[in-house]
Structure 1
């Protein structure tokens, strides 16, 4: 009977703790107080209460008191659980604490549970972990090794320019033809790249430079075509001697002032103009170089858009994973807090969980800030503000054009890389320019057809008309050594570009080697990451079962939560790094991949996520 009364006291204390009401009791100086069995879930309290009620049924008064206390404890537990997880009062029993776990206490003990800090419940529950009635954690390894498989959906909601500050800033630009930021519901990577290539200021600048080069080519060509020149002059002329006859002396006037007008129409066709011809050929090559420069700008825009898209997606995924992790730690903190209030856990354990919860919340804030910055950067590049984006895959960034062999990739890059092609075109233009400089030592020969009409030439009252068909040669025999220095300048320019081409080739080969090494290492790390995730999942499931029996430390489970979160976060970063490496290789090979090569032809079916 004495043992039954002690059990009843223990159950009353447990019920008071669960209902957040302080309970005090006192016995003689040698009396002992019950210490709750170390457990990690609130459901263990329910099981202990039911077991104690069964054990105390031998004593009628003790059994009745224990049953009432057990019901109160279970009701308190059910108050904090959703309906689907509430425990039945009649099917469970409360286990009495082991005698070895009992220790002496003061004659009067008042236990008051400490409520969690208010700033720990800022975010809504995400349903990732439910600790209040048994450990039901969604630990698992996705069957598909991709961002889509890891997240469980093809599309995610993002915050691009969430506050609209960037859009308002663009709208405040007081100039004509300013493209405003356009909100859009959904966006995939192929659409983002297409929009970015059409909006990018770098691409538009490169396109304008191509237009300039074409106009300059037309100018150089015009210098080789026939030209027609009309010249008209009129004014006073003084002739000495004049053609007029002096009426007094009968001789021509020694000086005559009169009006004169000349009109000349000249048609000129260059016959030999080597500097002009080579300049025209050089302009054509420069135009080709500008086109390669535009392709290079498109490649840079393509790559920067891919990186911005990946940053937007990965930062959102990371923020969501951090929110899940924070919710898990908050649930764990609330449970440890109740156990600490009951004396089953130390205050240091509670504070360690609180510190981890605050750290998770800080990481969440950091991830949200990174996502906001990534959203503004994406809007700046694409000029679209999507609310949802489709998760990228490798096919969308040009996996189909990436060779399996590094040697094959190097061969293709040396032929089609836009930076190499641009420098090679500039080098060819410099070679033509060098040849044109040498041609300045040669004469220029033109064919001229002219028709000149002069009125009052020399003071005559009659007009004079001259029609000529002539071959005109212009030859600069000496120009102070300027032509020689001009040749030296063009030769030095050619040497410069030759070395730049060689350097660019080596840079491309080095970048390809690095990207292929990164891609290979990333894929190996992804394999290891999923093995790690599988191991952590297996360990977490085993630890969850041990926690139900009270044989697992809460802090060990806290460590499992952290490792599971870190493993998933690493996989997100690795998948992002893999996609970025493939995009970088495709960009090195040929600039921006064609839409048909870079994007999938069909849209995948939405995943069914349970």
Structure 2
């Protein structure tokens, strides 16, 4: 007996020692997420959008550089002059021209800034799509594990009901059991078969979702989540999580950059009210110009000012359009903030609530398991009815099913919280090798001030004082008796 206790103690100590290592995400999950963020079509579409935005900024920056053109022509011309007759000749021309913008009302500067902010917005949208794909893979991975376990529980539940049904059938056939008991057992067996079929169908559906996200079927060997995805703790409360998310959430950062791009568009539209100054230079070489035989050259260097006086109201309309688009981007930023505040508050509350709920569900399934074994022994000696036995079997199955669902829901709630913080991929230690940091893309602001967007307020979870609740109930019951 002493030797058994020693072995148990050593097993517990070894479990405690390996617990931190077991908290890391399984390698199969990291591989699945890595494949999704590299090959998922939605993420790849965002990647190409980011690349296109980078090319757009280079296009806008070209406005700072001179434009150089070469043109050449050759053709037959006929020139008719009064009192001199008509001449037919071949005219050849070659022209080299240069145009350098000197002042354009800060149009080029505003466009370069606008395209830079748009590139940052596309960058954060790419990060958000990658985070979203990672979350969906975590959900699918967890659901495959969940329904594989639920199928196993449903199989065991079916076997138990089948054995009880056969036992009752033998009793009824021998004349020592009632026919109604057999009907009741047959009905419960049919329910167990239906439960098994449901779980098998659910496993098929989540496997198809995994295939869509990752591009391959889930392997037979999937590492378990453990109890958490990352070794680091979550923020202390929902308000702290929101304050952190306002600076790290890619969705909110994308909305902020869209607002900055909208302001730069307004500045760009205002340039139409300024004059434009260009430095122009060209040299033309002609043969037989205007019918004069021989070679002619024309060289020009000049400053050209152009100031539009009337364009039919187009400039004013474009400026008004840009102002409305800026207001639209501000409204979408407000929406992104409110959406983040809701989803992160719910995810954080779920991740905390399910920890406590798991303790109660575990206690429930352990208690039902003990009651089930006791009822089975009492049924064998005639102290319990068939209905008692079947009820405990069904309750045991539902208790184990509820515990399994809550266990996976709790880890997925952690993933949803990390996704709201924009840190799910870093928690899984997964990254795109071709994705640069935001500072290299052009991020030049320190962060987001929540006071300028929306306050990081989260509803406080309701705390139930169970002792006070019970005391109030007993007090009300006592008053009613009097």
Report the TM-score, using the length of structure 1 for normalisation. 0.63
* Residue 295 in structure 1 maps to residue 135 in structure 2: no
2:240 counterpart (403, 408, 432) = 408
In the alignment, which residue of structure 2 is the partner of 1:342?
174
1:393 counterpart (221, 226, 245) = 226
Q: 2:72 is paired with a residue of what secondary structure? A: strand
* Distance change (3 Å), C-alpha of 1:190 and 1:596: closer
Q: What CA deviation, in whole Å up to 9, does each residue of 1:523-543 have, x standing for no partner?
A: 232121112122212322433
Query: How far does residue 269 in structure 1 lie from its aligned partner after superposition?
Result: 1.8
The 1-side partners of 2:364 and 2:427 are apart by 36
* Residue 219 in structure 1 maps to residue 59 in structure 2: yes
5+ long unaligned stretches in structure 1: 1-142, 144-152, 155-185, 243-251, 600-610
Q: 1:393 is paired with a residue of what secondary structure? A: coil
Matches within 5 A, 1:382-531: 382-385=214-217, 386-396=219-229, 398=230, 400=232, 402-531=234-363
Query: How far does residue 408 in structure 1 lie from its aligned partner after superposition?
Result: 1.2
**Matched-pair contact (CA < 8 Å) for 1:187–1:388:** no
* Distance change (3 Å), C-alpha of 1:411 and 1:503: same
Q: What CA deviation, in whole Å up to 9, does each residue of 1:94-145 have, x standing for no partner?
A: xxxxxxxxxxxxxxxxxxxxxxxxxxxxxxxxxxxxxxxxxxxxxxxxx9xx
* Residue 189 in structure 1 maps to residue 189 in structure 2: no
Matches within 5 A, 1:93-242: 188-239=28-79, 241=81
The 2-side partners of 1:409 and 1:598 are apart by 22
* Distance change (3 Å), C-alpha of 1:317 and 1:572: same
2:368 counterpart (536, 540, 543) = 536
Q: What CA deviation, in whole Å up to 9, does each residue of 1:456-486 have, x standing for no partner?
A: 2222223221222221222222101100000
* Residue 285 in structure 1 maps to residue 117 in structure 2: yes
Larger helix percent: 2
* Residue 268 in structure 1 maps to residue 123 in structure 2: no
**Matched-pair contact (CA < 8 Å) for 2:245–2:421:** yes
Q: What CA deviation, in whole Å up to 9, does each residue of 1:34-74 have, x standing for no partner?
A: xxxxxxxxxxxxxxxxxxxxxxxxxxxxxxxxxxxxxxxxx
In the alignment, which residue of structure 2 is the partner of 1:52?
none
Q: What CA deviation, in whole Å up to 9, does each residue of 1:433-477 have, x standing for no partner?
A: 010000111122122222211222222223221222221222222
In the alignment, which residue of structure 1 is the partner of 2:6?
none
* Distance change (3 Å), C-alpha of 1:512 and 1:596: closer
* Residue 313 in structure 1 maps to residue 313 in structure 2: no
Q: What CA deviation, in whole Å up to 9, does each residue of 1:347-396 have, x standing for no partner?
A: 11121111111110111111111111211221121112222212223433
Q: What CA deviation, in whole Å up to 9, does each residue of 1:508-550 have, x standing for no partner?
A: 1111222222233322321211121222123224334434543
The 1-side partners of 2:109 and 2:76 are apart by 42
Q: 1:473 is paired with a residue of what secondary structure? A: strand
In the alignment, which residue of structure 1 is the partner of 2:84?
253
Report the TM-score, using the length of structure 2 for normalisation. 0.79
**Matched-pair contact (CA < 8 Å) for 1:188–1:391:** no
**Matched-pair contact (CA < 8 Å) for 1:399–1:598:** no
5+ long unaligned stretches in structure 2: 1-11, 13-21, 432-482
In the alignment, which residue of structure 1 is the partner of 2:426?
594
The 1-side partners of 2:190 and 2:304 are apart by 90
